[in-house]
Structure 1
Amino acid sequence: MVAVIADPRTAQVQLAQARRLVDPALRAAVDTLPSSMRRIAGYHFGWWDPDGTPTRADAGKALRPALVFGGALAAGGTDLDAVSGAVAVELVHNFSLLHDDVMDGDATRRHRATAWSVFGTSAAILAGDALLALAMDVLAAGAHPASTRATGMLGAAVQRLLDGQSADLDFERRDDVGVDECLAMASAKTGALLGCACAIGALFGGGRPAQVLRLAQFGEDLGLAFQFADDLLGIWGDPAVTGKPVHSDLRSRKKSLPVVAALTSGTDAGSALGVSYAAPAPDDLSGEAGLIEAAGARLWAQAHADGLLARAVEALAAAEPDPRTEAELIALARLATRRDR
């Protein structure tokens, strides 16, 4: 395994810079939406309260825009070359979040009420649809020579994301989900968009075909590692930090990666979890979290995240970025897979 040593402060600076670069263009794009959609989108992004009063709520980590900018720099371009790509990817990500919250019934995101719980289910779905259409418009309207190819690439990533989300929902109704198909689901649901973010950045940065391919692989592996980390937080994350209820994934009976690993572990703890998971979620889910850990699934998930991170770093090195950009992307990848929110 490749040893990854990175200063998390470097990654925090990248995320802050990505947010500063993407937000003006993101706001300008959202301002073109019909007023009904704009109102919900702006609330979801944390820009204003339900009544339109400006606020400064958490707008998210800006990981995907940061990867777009990092991909551009790794390919020898500048971050300014890739602003439209970063906006488009961030719009797609938030389209998926609006829909995810509806499908999962989550009432809280980023420490505030979810859009559907404020404006209604149908309105939130429509707002998500509006963001997806807007993402394609942003790319298609760009004057960059790579805009057309980037639009097709983003569309393909969305199709994979939707396929992964569909599988995730299907798993909730099944009691025979295997680890391999759960990994495939997570790769599509999360890895596709992170891989696309890096590849689009490389395209806008003028990258060679081999660089675009390697950076896409870096993002794909990072995306799956990110999903492992996200699934761990869905069970053991601190609500005060994550902005989601404790044991949120267990309460919704999600077949996340640690859950499936525990259920298929062949251990007594895994068998006990299977019996418990077949019933409605109890008020206190700490016992189920303990069974997952006793089955070895928590350590299994963290080990897989670490292995994927190492593989991502190898793909990044093969893209031959300059040393500073390589170190910054490694720091970003490290933060994404070893995080508390």
Structure 2
Amino acid sequence: MTAATAVPVEADGVAPTAPDVLERCRRLVGPALAAAVERLHPWPAEMAAYSLGWCEVGGAPAPGATGGKGLRQALAVLGAEAVGAPGEAGSAGAVAVELVHTFSLLHDDVMDGDTTRRRRPTVWKAYGTGPAVLAGDALFALAVETLAAAPGAHGPAAVRLLAASLTDLVRGQADDLLFESRPWRGPGAVRPDEYRMMAEHKTGALLGSAAALGALLAGAPEETVATLDRAGRHLGVAFQIVDDVLGIWGDPRVTGKPAHGDLRRRKKTLPVLAALSTPEGAAGGLAARRLAGLLEGADALDHDGARRAADLAEEAGGRSAALAEAHRHIAAVHACLESVPLAPRPLGDLRTLLDFLLHRRL
């Protein structure tokens, strides 16, 4: 079966929207993902299901559960379809990256002290820090087991690919945490290029491995697998930048995150770093200096202070510079996808997702 025949077409001939693509991939991967989580000890399994949005604390089914966008599992499915295989060929990769993504969120929320995610208490807040770390460890082990048991001859190579992306993810997370202790200005300040490398590791590595694993498990040539990995890494940087913009100027009713949360924590995100890099004499230079003074202050930023910081970051050009950088990385994704032969219909689905992710609502 080719990818062209494996992907359904809307009855009226209209190309599927990004939510359509994501939903189709979630339906394809869902049973295998649920079966994998059920293999865990019941307590970590409940925490995993809670994190995935399937249940409430205590295990009662969550009404209207969606389990998030499912971007990474969609990339694995489309990676398989793009090289001419049915989406099921990438199912083990899709399950593995979704488990790893969930594991990383559990630990990330603990490290950042975030108390809400998707408008609900985070796992550590609902169950405790120790149990949340345990559940994350269980998901990590389950992801490796899932790939190692993948049908066909590509399981060992898939485990190696995932392991390499996890090494990068940890490197990116380490840099992100270390950035917090560095100054806003001067020789020790975080440079925008350091941020880009951090984002590629922290976010891009897993997105790259998602697309690459689908193609690898489907038996694609090494060049195609490497190109899809590279495309996913560029996508990850763009995705992280858009997340940063949403974290400052997004509507909490849409994002599910507190308004100006990153600014309140004085997190070094690209919009802020780009704003602070505006030269003193340039347009926005005065706003950049005032923003630095506000962030360097000893007092915690209250609601008004965070809003003022957001206004100054925008006045200094941080928002526009960050979005321009995201567009450059999306252009690099398109260039990667055009450089290798891919089936037209899943390629179209990938392009639909790119546009959707870049233009998420603020």
Which residue of the partner structure matches residue 303 of structure 2? 283
Q: CA deviation at 1:8?
A: 9.1
Q: CA deviation at 1:27?
A: 1.0
Which residue of the partner structure matches residue 134 of structure 1? 142
Aligned residue runs from structure 1 range 283-322, under 5 A: 283-284=303-304, 285-322=306-343
Partner SS, residue 61 of structure 1: coil
Which residue of the partner structure matches residue 143 of structure 1? 151
Aligned residue runs from structure 1 range 73-222, under 5 A: 73-175=81-183, 176-222=189-235
Q: CA deviation at 1:293?
A: 0.4
Which residue of the partner structure matches residue 4 of structure 1? none
Maintained 8 Å contact 2:288/2:312:
yes
1:261 aligns with 2:261: no
How far apart in 2 are the matches of 1:15 and 1:67? 9
Maintained 8 Å contact 1:218/1:312:
yes
Please report the RMSD computed on the Cα atoms of aligned residues, expressed in angstroms.
1.4
How far apart in 1 are the matches of 2:202 and 2:358? 16
Maintained 8 Å contact 1:8/1:331:
no
Structure 2: runs of 5+ lacking an equivalent: 1-13, 184-188, 280-284
Q: CA deviation at 1:196?
A: 0.7
Which residue of the partner structure matches residue 60 of structure 2? 53
* Higher RCO (C-alpha 8 Å, min separation 6): 1
1:189-231 Cα deviation digits (max 9, x unpaired): 1111111111111111221111112111211111111111111
- The alignment of Structure 1 onto Structure 2 pairs a total of residues equal to 335
Q: Which amino acid aligns with 2:108?
A: D
Q: CA deviation at 1:144?
A: 2.1
Maintained 8 Å contact 1:253/1:277:
yes
How far apart in 1 are the matches of 2:341 and 2:239? 23
Change (3 A) 1:8 1:245: farther
Q: Which amino acid aligns with 1:283?
A: H
| 1:42 pairs with one of 41, 49, 69 | 49
Which structure has the bigger radius of gyration?
2
Moved more, 278-287 or 76-85: 278-287
Aligned residue runs from structure 1 range 230-269, under 5 A: 230-266=243-279, 267-269=285-287
1:85-112 Cα deviation digits (max 9, x unpaired): 1000000011111111111111111111
Maintained 8 Å contact 2:72/2:97:
yes
Maintained 8 Å contact 2:212/2:228:
yes
Maintained 8 Å contact 1:31/1:38:
yes
Q: Which amino acid aligns with 1:102?
A: V
Maintained 8 Å contact 1:58/1:110:
no
Partner SS, residue 329 of structure 1: helix
How far apart in 2 are the matches of 1:50 and 1:240? 23
Q: CA deviation at 1:290?
A: 0.5
How far apart in 1 are the matches of 2:134 and 2:28? 27
How far apart in 2 are the matches of 1:153 and 1:263? 37
Which residue of the partner structure matches residue 355 of structure 2? 334
Maintained 8 Å contact 2:102/2:139:
yes
Q: Which amino acid aligns with 2:159?
A: T
Which residue of the partner structure matches residue 3 of structure 1? none
Q: CA deviation at 1:58?
A: 4.0
TM-score, structure 2 length as denominator?
A: 0.90
How far apart in 1 are the matches of 2:118 and 2:58? 18
Maintained 8 Å contact 2:76/2:210:
yes
Partner SS, residue 303 of structure 2: coil
1:16 aligns with 2:23: yes
State the 4+ residue runs in structure 1 displaced beyond 4 angstroms.
none
Q: Which amino acid aligns with 1:17?
A: R
Partner SS, residue 103 of structure 1: helix
How far apart in 2 are the matches of 1:331 and 1:127? 33
| 2:238 pairs with one of 219, 225, 229 | 225
TM-score, structure 1 length as denominator?
A: 0.95
Maintained 8 Å contact 1:221/1:308:
yes
Maintained 8 Å contact 2:102/2:136:
yes
1:233-276 Cα deviation digits (max 9, x unpaired): 11111111111111111112110111111122232212211111
